[in-house]
Structure 1
């Protein structure tokens, strides 16, 4: 699927609509340049999940946990890190049925879950959002 988001609010709306497909244990991998809208997209997912607290980038904390109405949101940022999730002790979050993992700046191959790869990029019209789904069982 591909979308064009002209505004920040459009990005949030695309993310909210996308989040209606998410189930416990799903993993969302976000990629894009700095400022492309990865955290904004995550805010839309959080709103759809019923998270009420403000969602901020976990760049310096590595992971932030939020509780939604039914599912938790595990928001991770791998931007400053070299090494994989296993080396960092974060693999325990992958596939947890009580929540959804959203990981910025991550290209993990060894994920055994339903994975959505979302690419955000600047374009003439605003932001191009491309969503791919893959089952990695």
Structure 2
């Protein structure tokens, strides 16, 4: 397992991380995002969408649980599992997580049984009003190249 930790100084830099890794993701890619409310999970996802040439307004799927963006070559599925109860995990999310697109999952611990063995784990920690500590872990060889790309740029 490769991992890398770095600091972003503002929202634009956090978005840049998402945009930077977008070209290296393929269908059936899974990214888990953890961090406190307001840490920048959706900000990261906005950058990822930009990197995939998705121009739609990306918003947190907190109340929807799932937002789908289809304007890229690969669909982007943005999942927020925060509001799911134990019994809710089987509401069809597996078809998006194990499907034809890129699945970004906020609050993955609520649906841990649906997370595949190989994924990219990103933890965002609030340091102050603008700065964020970002820890990226490649769980599986498929995501190790992404760690190297981030190291070269941050």
TM-score by length of 1: 0.89
How many angstroms does 1:44 deviate by? Answer: 0.6
Mark the runs of 5 or more structure 1 residues left unpaired by the alignment.
Answer: none
In the alignment, what sits opposite 1:121? 125
For 1:86 and 1:122, the matched residues in 2 are separated by 28
In the alignment, what sits opposite 1:78? 81
For 2:23 and 2:134, the matched residues in 1 are separated by 17
In the alignment, what sits opposite 1:19? 22
Contact 2:8 2:131 in 1 (8 A): yes
Pairs aligned (count): 135
Instruction: Report the more deviating stretch, 115-124 or 103-112.
Output: 103-112
In the alignment, what sits opposite 2:135? 130
SS in structure 2 opposite 1:76?
strand
* Residue among 6, 10, 18 paired with 2:9: 6
Mark the runs of 5 or more structure 2 residues left unpaired by the alignment.
Answer: 142-154
For 1:51 and 1:93, the matched residues in 2 are separated by 18
How many angstroms does 1:36 deviate by? Answer: 0.1
Distance 1:84 1:123, change over 3 A: farther
For 1:130 and 1:20, the matched residues in 2 are separated by 20
Any residues of structure 2 matched to 1:55-74 within 5 Å, and which?
55-74=58-77
